[in-house]
Each structure stands twice: as C-alpha cells, then as structure tokens.
Structure 1
Amino acid sequence: MAFSIGNYSIEKPVILAPMAGVTDLPFRRLCHQHGAGLVVSEMVTSDVRLWDTNKSRMRLIHDAEVAPRSVQIAGSDPTMMAQAARQNVELGAQIIDINMGCPAKKVLNKAAGSALLQDEPLVQKILESVVSSVDVPVTLKIRTGWSPDQRNGLSIAKIAEQSGIQALAVHGRTRACKFKGEVEFDTIAAIKQAISIPVFANGDIQSAEQAKQVLDYTQADAVMIGRAAQGRPWIFREINHYLEHNELLAPPSTDEVQAIVINHVTALHDFYGSFMGTRIARKHVGWYLQTLADTTPFRSQFNRIEDAQEQLDLLNEFFAS
C-alpha cells in the first residue's frame, strides 16, 4: 500500500500525526522504529522572530531526523509562511506540512490552524505562496470545516490540489467539534473521491481493526494516528501487521514494554539534557502507565524525581515488581 508524496515513496500506510509537545525527535524516531511510514514534527510557528526560544530551537533540529523529514508550520500570513517554509528547508526539512487543523485557542486567536478554514481565498493565497517558495513537496492538514453548518472541507481540498499541495490529511471533525463527537468518515471518503492526491484519514483511530475499517470505508491512502500512539508507539506495527495478514499481532511482552520505556526515557534525557529531560519524561511515562492500566501510586512517586538516573532506576524497579 505504498503511496508517494512528491518524489518520496512512503511504504507503510500509517502516519504519526504532528502533536505539539508530544512528537519531538525522540518520539518520532520511536514511532518510526515501530512501523510509522511517515512521522511529522511538532508545529513550528511561522513567525521566525520567535524561533529564538528554547522550545522552538528544539523543534527546529532536523538533521538527525527520520527521512523523509516532514516539518509542520502554522500561521496566517502568506509571506511569513513562505519564509518559514524556506528556512525550515534550509535547516533540512524535506516535506513542509501546513497546519489548518489545529483547534487550540492559542493557535486560533492568531487566526491560524483551523480558523483559516473560514477564509477560502486566504487559504489559497497561503498554499500558493508556500508551494511556490520551496522546491520540496508541501502537504496540508485540515478539518472537515469550521463548524457543523460550515463544512467546506471538500472545497478546501480542491483548492489544495489546485494550489500544488501533494498530500492532504483530514481530521474528521469540524473546528467547533474540537476532539468531541463522532468522526465524519463520510466527509473524508467524499474528499478522497474528489481529488487525486493522497488523502490521510485522521481522528480517533485507536486500534488495528479500526484502522482497517477506516481505510476500507474512506479508501484513504493512509491513516494518521495521533493520541492513540501516546504510551503505545507499537500501535503502528499492530496496524501494519493487521493490514498485511488480517490477524491481530500479540501485544508486546512486559519485558519489551520495559525496554521501550527505558530507551525512550534515556533518549529524552540525551536530547533535552537531564533537567528538561526528566520533566518531559513524566508525561510520556504517565501515558505508558495508562496503557499498562497501572493504578498504583507509582506515577506520583515518579513525578517527584528530579534526577535522570534515579528515574531509570525506579522504572526498572517498577517493571521488576
């Protein structure tokens, strides 16, 4: 089920969605190892004046990246978006992804993310501006519309294709719905019918069986997995296995989960340094514990630790018991 984004061939039809504060380099690498065909970076603001913050600097490290390196930018000014795209390409991005799907207030207040969906002429200007400014493929992530009575995902998808966008990810809800309510797979299916570029179905896909149902129903080229990968990076190989063999893969053993968690936490310490790394490890370990259905007081104990080695020791102790 390979498909292409520009001249890049993506061999596996499962993509890691960009998630701010989650899909940093260590997590992207981990999901790629577990079978994600493409991983997309956290959202980077298009305002290059803000790139000097520590947070943005961490998000702009593209050299040790899993290829093809896809970097997501957000903003509402066509010129700034083009500039951000060019500078990310200079920093090593091989695909530029434009965010018009984020429902977060912080992003909407700047009239970026899914707020743009209410202004189709501006959407077209941004897309054309970014596409013409770089010589790498540009992809787009949208929602099905601004609100349930303004579902214009289909016309946005056509504008995207005409503007030279090479692939389109669709989160099957409107901006107003945020992450609540049923996902509109009908709309994704209609968009797939209407355009000829690859389409990725996104929204609440939690399991391998569900991924197959969504692909069969929408005829999309790939599924995009977001929150279901938190604490469960092996979901990618589970989906790939099910699509290939029509059978469920056995869940990872406790020993394997232990190795994944330890390696992930170590990678966070290495990437961010001990001080930031131990803090960022807390939320990831929290997600792993939810996956393991852990109800013990271990998490609150873990969250109090400030020392990197102590975190690893305590995790090994936890798995040993």
Structure 2
Amino acid sequence: MVKIGTIELPDFPLLLAPMEDVSDPPFRRLCKLHGADLMYSEFISSEGLIRDAMKSRQKLDIFDYERPVGIQIFGGDEEAMALSAKIVEAVNPDIVDINFGCPVKKVVCKGAGAAVLKDVDLMVRLTKAVVDSTHLPVTVKTRLGWDENSINIYEVAERLQDVGIKALSVHGRTRAQMYKGEADWTEIARVKNNPRMHIPIFGNGDIDSPEKALEYKDKYGLDGIMIGRAAIGYPWIFNEIKHYMATGKHLPAPTLEDRVEAARNHLTWAVDWKGERVGVFETRRHYTNYFKGIPNFKEYRQKLVSTDGLQDLNLILDDVLQKFGEGQAV
C-alpha cells in the first residue's frame, strides 16, 4: 500500500496526470472507470482563482465517484498561492497539488510552472505557503530541472519534503526538452533511492504500453507511475497495465463497440456537466483519439466534429457501429 498523508492507494498505483484542456471531470470519470487510482484536475491559476475567473472556478468541480482526486494549482506569488489553496480546500478535494512542471510559454512567462525550477528558494517558499495554509496533503508535480545544465531534482525533492509535501511526481524531462526526446527516469530513481526521502515518488513520461510500465517498475523501483498523453483517447491503458503486471498477459484490445461507448459516455457526461452547447464543443477534440487507427474513418470524424446536437451525434455514433461492425477489435 502507498500512502499520501492519510490517503491509501494500492501497491504501485497508476495516476492520471493533470493535463490542460484534457483532465476535466468527464475524462477523469472515464479513466477512473478503466482503472486509474488517483487523478488530478487540470491546473488552475492561483491568480485566476483569486480574481474569481469563471474558467478557473469551473476547474474546481470534483465528484465523489472520482475520489481520491487532487486539485492542481500554479503560480509564482506566495500570498496568491496560499490564498488559492484555501479556496481549493473549500471544495474538499483529497489533495492539493502544485504544478512546478508546466513548460508552456504562457505559464513560464508569468514566473510559474517550470519557470520556478530556476529559483529553488522561491519554489520552497511557494510550497511552504501552500502547506501552511491547508490541512489537506500537499503534493508536487515537477520536472528534472530547467535544462540539462541545471538538473536539480535531487535537491528539490529533499527541500520540498522538508517543508511538508506528502508525495512528489517527476516528469523525466527538463523544461528545455518540452515533450521531445526520451524521458530520463534514472534521475527520478536517484531521488527515490536517496535514504533521506520517505515520501512516495512517482515517475512520469513516455509510459505508453503495459510492457514499458512493467519494465520501468522493475528497473527504477519507484512507488507508482503517472500516465498522461497515452491515456488521451485510450483510458483502457490503466487496466491493461494492471492486468499485464498481475498476469504477464494482455487484455483483449478494446473493440469498436468499446470505443463508441467511451466516446458516447464522454459526450454525455460533458453535456451533463457543462450543458449541451459547451459539452458538445469540448468533446470534439477527443473523437480523433477514440477512433484512431480505424481505416476510412475520415468522413465520420468530419461529421463528429461539425455536428452540434447531442441527439444527432448519438445517431452518428450508431452509424459508426453499423458501418464498421460491432465486436470488431481495432
């Protein structure tokens, strides 16, 4: 069993990474259904929360069926981070997570996300401000360092643990790498093997198959794995990894029926959450992923991303089943 504060997770848990414009409640619900053990919200700007920005507030929506769930915040100001942690606490998540890893320019330019890797003292102060302002367990997601000449995750991990974080997730790339090249898990393992460390350490980056998950589990000895991009359009990856680790065998690939069901659920839950117009619009970006690899699907993809009504979209999904055949593995 792995513990984050008082939260109990199974041995070697699989975490869903927080992803902007992806990790919303409908997507998290699908991943939970298919085996994710712990999930995080999309990251939320501390300044946006304090300004009561509607988009930021909506990202605070969590539901009991997805627990345990963490809400992730980012920012570069101690007072704003402390205040936003109190706002987050009011909606009663299981965890408050801090993003010190986002590499995108609009976040880094504000001195937040991965930018904080350039100033470890600031990172420590921001983290302490959050820890001191909430009774919830605080976790951190970060990267190895700013660039290959400043990989500082070993020091970062010790210092963040010292100010009270309860778990650390590390993406095995620097900010300079963005999402290019191969993730380096040796530095994450170094953190885990540091005798001073006693909190769970989770690895993130490049896990896209059951084989790789098992290989990295055995090779690096971390407490669990965080999966991001590989789960987009493929929530089945969590149960596939668990089954392979337990049995050495693969679960059957999702059938076309499974894919249609996932797309339909995602659409229905998005509409339930945000209303028909916004729910339909926000689900469009996912159809390409759910039906990836199906030959001659272009016409249906075009219909799915250009149709406005829930009822009409469900009819198109019915047509997909008839046209491409129920029960077919794809």
Matched, 1:189 2:189: yes
Given that residues 60 and 91 in structure 2 are in contact (C-alpha distance below 8 angstroms), is that contact kept between their aligned partners in structure 1?
yes
What is aligned with 2:274?
272
Do residues 85 (structure 1) and 85 (structure 2) align? Answer: yes
User: 1:108 is matched by which residue type in structure 2?
Assistant: V
Mark the CA change 1:252 to 1:63 in structure 2 (over 3 Å): closer, same or farther. closer
Three-state SS of the structure 2 residue aligned to 1:145 is coil
Distance 1:116 1:140 in 2: 12
- Could you tell me which residue of structure 1 aligns to residue 36 of structure 2? 36
What is the rounded CA distance, in whole Å, between the counterparts of 1:41 and 1:270 in structure 2?
A: 18
Partners of 1:292 and 1:60 lie apart in 2 by: 35
1:6 match: 5
Please name the residue that 1:161 is paired with: 161
**Match for residue 246 of structure 1?**
248
Deviation at 1:30, TM superposition (A): 1.1
Which residue of 2 is the match for residue 52 of structure 1? 53
Corresponding letter in the other structure for 2:226: M
Mapping 1:93-104, distance limit 5 Å: 93-104=93-104
Give the equivalent residue in structure 2 for 1:263. 265
Alpha-carbon RMSD across the aligned residues, in angstroms, is: 1.4
1:224 equivalent in structure 2: 226
CA distance in 2: counterparts of 1:66 and 1:158, whole angstroms: 30
Is the Cα–Cα contact under 8 Å of residues 63 and 92 in structure 1 kept in the other structure? no
Percent identity between the two aligned chains: 38
How many angstroms apart in 1 are the aligned matches of 2:51 and 2:182?
Answer: 36
TM-aligned CA deviation for residue 257 of structure 1: 2.2
Q: Call closer, same or farther: CA 1:272–1:292 in 2, change over 3 Å.
A: farther
Q: Which runs of 4+ in 1 moved over 4 A?
A: 291-295
Is the Cα contact below 8 Å between 2:14 and 2:238 reproduced in 1? yes
Range 291-300 or range 261-270, more displaced? 291-300
Alpha-carbon spacing, 1:294–1:76, altered in 2? closer, same or farther (3 Å)? farther
Deviations 1:194-219 (A, max 9, x none): 22210111011101111111111211
CA–CA separation in structure 1 for the residues paired with 2:134 and 2:282 = 33
Q: Which residue of 1 aligns with 2:145?
A: 145
- The one-character-per-residue Cα deviations of 1:49-97 (angstroms, maximum 9, x if unpaired) are 34332x2232111344511230000001111111111110111222000
Does the 8 Å CA contact 1:173/1:184 hold for their aligned counterparts? Answer: yes
Partner of 1:23: 23
8 Å Cα contact 2:37/2:68 also seen in 1: no
Q: In the alignment, what sits opposite 1:282? A: 284
**d(CA) in 2 for partners of 1:240, 1:247:** 10
Separation in structure 2 between the aligned mates of residue 177 and residue 65 of structure 1, nearest angstrom: 36
**Residue among 233, 236, 254 paired with 2:235:** 233
Q: Is the 8 A contact 1:232 1:291 kept in 2?
A: no
Provide the TM-score with structure 1 as the length reference: 0.96
Partners of 2:301 and 2:178 lie apart in 1 by 28
Normalised by the length of structure 2, the TM-score is: 0.93
- Secondary structure of the corresponding residue to residue 149 of structure 1: helix
Residues 292, 236 of structure 1: CA spacing in aligned structure 2 closer, same or farther, 3 A cutoff?
Answer: farther
Which is further off, 294-303 or 181-190?
Answer: 294-303
Q: Which runs of 5+ in 2 are unaligned?
A: 324-330
Structure 1: gaps spanning 5 or more residues? none
1:292 CA drift (Å) = 4.2
Residue type at the aligned position of 1:252: P
Structure 1 residues 294 and 97 mapped into 2: Cα distance closer, same or farther (>3 Å)? farther
Question: What is the CA–CA distance in structure 2 between the aligned matches of 1:268 and 1:128, rounded to whole Å?
Answer: 36
Q: Which amino acid aligns with 1:101?
A: G
**Do the aligned residues in 2 keep the contact of 1:98 with 1:139 (CA within 8 Å)?**
yes
Alpha carbons 1:231, 1:291 under 8 Å: kept = no
| DSSP 3-state at the match of 2:269 | helix
Given the alignment, which residue of 302, 318, 321 partners 1:319? 321
SS of the residue corresponding to residue 122 of structure 2 reads: helix
Determine the C-alpha separation between the residues in 1 that align with 2:63 and 2:310: 25
* Matched letter for residue 4 of structure 2: I
Distance in 1 of aligned mates of 2:280 and 2:69? 26
Paired residue secondary structure (2:225): strand
Is 2:50–2:83's contact at 8 Å kept on the other side of the alignment? no
Cα deviation, residue 110, structure 1: 0.5
Once residues 77 and 265 of structure 2 are traced to their aligned partners in structure 1, the CA distance between those partners, rounded to angstroms, is: 40
Q: Does 1:124 align with 2:106?
A: no
Deviations 1:7-51 (A, max 9, x none): 000126110000010010111111011110101111011112343
Aligned residues of 1:63 and 1:91 also touching (Cα < 8 A): no
Q: Deviation of residue 243 (structure 1)?
A: 1.4
Deviations 1:260-302 (A, max 9, x none): 2211211111111111111111111121122546643221222
* Aligned equivalent of 2:207: 205
